[in-house]
Structure 1
């Protein structure tokens, strides 16, 4: 039940009656959260992704999507990163903070009980009770012993504590979703770093093979120059091509080392810790022929950033009620029980005690609009959270559609580049045969060698891009996280 009526103008009797009714009915000021707005009506109707191709189906995807690449080493790296990455530790610490804040708000609704004990000795000066200028009284010594208990309880008249608990609970759930979002990003980042590493290793191996072939050709050409069957210009051309190929390997070597360092850091280890484990080159893992993507509705339910934005909206909605309740009176109950006297034995006289019980009603009714301004501020914060939620939904859908489009056309690119590479292989073989038979020139061989090497490099790059697009789909779908135990 929601109460938003302005009660500043109500008589005192009606105000007390309203407070009692609110207490008995369990009402709270401010708007009740009714769920997030419908930011994507077409997706909510359970439609399909617009950019999904024939290689994407509506089956529910696996949360451990990296296992679909069939690379045991990648599986191990992702699992170890999810266990040891420092960023996950930061997110978990924030989650524990938010849960502690929730526990604090729940405890604030309960009474506060305290105890105190006192043992004091006082020496008082002589007392002149007759008013004369002289006194023969001697100083007085007094002992005082006291044992007391006190309790304070603020009655939640207008739901301030209830709204605080609602806000803290929603904030804790938002922190859980933020942790899940870190897991999603981490799994994708490990996979992309691994793909890039394997891509650079393959391209380095290809370049080293090309260097070896060019060195053999340079040696053969040198022998032909000595026999007079080739010119020194041919030798210089081969040497220039060899130097260029060697130069192309240098940035690839630096990138390979950088990805090794990145993987080690993602796993919470020092750079170089994985060099031995990942030193052997391996092919880039390729995605399956069919990719399960589900539907937009399940995407929006699953994506952690959307869930975090929705829970933040719920928390900010509850905070409006907190600000509303601060405008109205608060009622606190005080109670004190004390035992004591001038001797320690007085502490055992249970029938001789002092007790005080008092309610206190306070109301800051003349604050010149400060409380109302805080309510307005809370409402605008809630409006901002709603816009952020709408934006998160639209961004999530766009990420998914973009990833599906890149993946679909990435397959076309791989097929096209594979045909180009096959043609370059045949052209190089023919050029070598013609050159060996004396019907072709060395320039033809060098040109076709460069073209064949470029085609091989392009194919490796296209395959790596395709697998990265697959990873992008999984990240866009919000996969790769597991719930944290409460």
Structure 2
């Protein structure tokens, strides 16, 4: 056909792609010495690259590991992120398919009764009705049509590029949801174990205070203690019992939270988690790597970078709309008023190239390009903000983790001192040089020091969890 010589020209023009080429994310780290690492690692962090894996296994708690596994498999938020990923991948396949021609096949049979028209022998049989002559006609047709928009200036290719970046951003969002989920499960688990320990210690303290109150009342009955002493101890007992009630409410709240996080109804984990266990402790040294690796590791940064690539490609999509569009249409048909007309000698073939160019749009395309460029600039600013936020999160988490270790060390020394004081008071009591009330008071101080240490230990593990989240660990490469 005469249109065939147009195809090489169309294919040659199709190699042209307008719009900016994505050259990677903007530089965000300073080249000054020391900016490649973290400032506040201290003695608790090393620059060794962390293992991108199940970081929670470093806490050596089988129950926590089981909860994390169940949460990753059944949490609704993960399912939502994975569904969005499937949508983005389907959009990419759709954009790729849009580059190919579209074709349709059809088969048609038409029977018409036309009153008052005499088609003669070619029309088939002629019928005579009460209102005049009428003719019936049959029509048979087999057809095939195809259309193809030649991607002259790369608009379709830019659309595929944008869809690919969107799918990759969705993959990063799945990983980001996994990081957030695993951190949330670990935080809830640590808080649960902390509340169990604090409730047990509060009950011990209440028991000792109750014993002290009973002894003080005996002394009051003998005239050896005042009513003020009795009331003061009674207030301490009530205050301690009052502290247990909100702790119990928090304990039940964390049980419900963990059940929902693993994708089950509240109360389903009560039997599994009722038995108290100590708060899991983090390792002595934590591998954090450097800031450059952090930018490649955190899923939210990867998602922001892919969104920047998507917006850059969409500038090319808008730019390509300014130029002419070439569509090639083709039609092949067989048919006639008889079945015998469907034969190769009755073939009808039509090929029609159609060139469209909306050159007089009064600035509409230019406005669309400016809009796309503004969206790209917004995505670039968001990427820079994500990087700075990630670096701040990592620095803050390292600082809190390091200082919390110092606090826990101080609390351990305080508890050791309280233990020695309680032991010495017991020795004096057995020797008859100290009263039972003094001994119980020293024991109460020891329990209070144990409570403070338990709270500090839980805070240390929580800071470790926050550090792992800030480093973006837990995702699969």
Is TM > 0.5 for Structure 1 vs Structure 2?
yes
2:204, 2:447 within 8 Å by CA — same for their partners in 1?
no
Gaps of 5+ in 1: 1-16, 130-135
CA shift, 1:355, in A, is: 1.3
Corresponding residue for 1:7? none
User: In structure 2, which of residues 301, 326, 334 is the aligned counterpart of residue 331 of structure 1?
Assistant: 326
Instruction: Supply the RMSD in Å over aligned alpha carbons.
Output: 2.6
State the secondary structure of the residue aligned to 2:345: coil
Corresponding residue for 2:307? 312
- Quick one: distance in 1 between partners of 2:225 and 2:35? 71
- Quick one: distance in 1 between partners of 2:26 and 2:460? 36
- Quick one: distance in 1 between partners of 2:33 and 2:114? 82
Q: Which moved more, 1:292-301 or 1:426-435?
A: 426-435
Deviation string for 1:297-320 (max 9, x for gaps)?
111111100100000000100000
CA shift, 1:238, in A, is: 2.5
2:216, 2:230 within 8 Å by CA — same for their partners in 1?
yes
Corresponding residue for 2:456? 462
How many residues are paired up? 459
Q: TM-score, normalised by structure 1?
A: 0.88
Note closer, same or farther for the CA distance 1:217–1:137 as it changes in structure 2 (3 Å cut): closer
Q: TM-score, normalised by structure 2?
A: 0.90
Deviation string for 1:257-305 (max 9, x for gaps)?
1111110010001111101000011111111111111111111111100
User: In structure 2, which of residues 351, 354, 357 is the aligned counterpart of residue 360 of structure 1?
Assistant: 354
User: In structure 2, which of residues 25, 35, 44 is the aligned counterpart of residue 36 of structure 1?
Assistant: 25
- Quick one: distance in 1 between partners of 2:442 and 2:186? 35
User: In structure 2, which of residues 263, 271, 282 is the aligned counterpart of residue 268 of structure 1?
Assistant: 263
1:46, 1:297 within 8 Å by CA — same for their partners in 2?
no
User: In structure 2, which of residues 82, 101, 105 is the aligned counterpart of residue 115 of structure 1?
Assistant: 105
Note closer, same or farther for the CA distance 1:68–1:402 as it changes in structure 2 (3 Å cut): same
Note closer, same or farther for the CA distance 1:42–1:205 as it changes in structure 2 (3 Å cut): farther
Note closer, same or farther for the CA distance 1:247–1:161 as it changes in structure 2 (3 Å cut): same
Deviation string for 1:180-220 (max 9, x for gaps)?
00000111111110000001100001011112222233333
- Quick one: distance in 2 between partners of 1:293 and 1:56? 6
1:20, 1:157 within 8 Å by CA — same for their partners in 2?
no
Corresponding residue for 2:294? 299
Corresponding residue for 1:157? 152
The reply on whether 1:187 has 2:182 as its aligned counterpart is yes
- Quick one: distance in 2 between partners of 1:402 and 1:232? 51
CA shift, 1:453, in A, is: 3.9
Gaps of 5+ in 2: 1-5, 120-130
User: In structure 1, which of residues 87, 99, 104 is the aligned counterpart of residue 94 of structure 2?
Assistant: 104
2:98, 2:156 within 8 Å by CA — same for their partners in 1?
yes
Note closer, same or farther for the CA distance 1:147–1:44 as it changes in structure 2 (3 Å cut): farther
